[in-house]
Amino acid sequence: MANTQTDHPRISSARPEMTQAIMERTGLDQAMLTNLVHSFYGKIRTDAVLGPIFVSRILDWPPHLERMVSFWSSVALMTGSYHGAPVPAHAHLPVTWVHFERWLALFRETAVEVCTPAGAAHVIERAERIARSLNMAVENATRTAANAIPLLR
């Protein structure tokens, strides 16, 4: 059936009405998020600070990019398509807030390049919130590991 309400094609979502409303409000859609993820990790891979951390851990990029598109589809459009666990994937990385700041700088730059202004604001706000909570998870894991060292002596 033709979609008469909007230019956006309907996408598979656990909450189709909510997803549709966000797409209309922000201009985001699956193609824009796919472009965002691919362009962003293109920059990450060649970045002097973050590149080596990603390149040494992600050996097969197509599945990672696919996972990240479904992550952003879940986070930005509430499709429910991502079923992973970001916290354990980051908790033991050799990173501090400086790395998250760099990650966010590249993400903001890419979002502004590939998304509508409202779409960029929408994904940037969510990225900032998630970066803060992942950084806290890294700090907690580091603190727990440091506290455990005397017990090992």
What is the binding site for ligand HEM (CB under 6 A)? 50, 53-54, 57-58, 67, 71, 84-86, 89-90, 93, 95, 99-100, 103, 127, 130-131, 134
Minimum Å gap between C-beta 8 and ligand HEM is 23
Cβ 80 to ligand HEM shortest distance, Å: 14
CA geometry: angle 36, 40, 46, nearest 5 deg: 160
Q: With respect to ligand HEM, which residue has the nearer C-beta, 22 or 71?
A: 71
Q: Which is nearer to ligand HEM, 33 or 134 (CB)?
A: 134
Query: Which of 30/103 has CB closer to ligand HEM?
Result: 103
With helix as H, strand as E and coil as C, how does the chain read? CCCCCCCCCCCCCCCHHHHHHHHHHHCCCHHHHHHHHHHHHHHHHHCCCCHHHHHHHCCCHHHHHHHHHHHHHHHHHCCCCCCCCHHHHHCCCCCCHHHHHHHHHHHHHHHHHHCCHHHHHHHHHHHHHHHHHHHHHHHHHHHHHHHHHHHHC
Question: Considering beta carbons, is residue 11 or 104 the nearer one to ligand HEM?
Answer: 104
The length of the chain in residues reads 153
Q: Least Å distance between CB 3 and ligand HEM? A: 29
What is the smallest separation between the CB atom of 10 and ligand HEM, expressed in angstroms? 24
Least separation in angstroms between residue 142's CB and ligand HEM is 13
Yes or no: say if 54 and 33 are a contact pair by the CB < 8 Å rule: no
Complex with ligand HEM: residue 6 or 140, whichever CB lies closer? 140
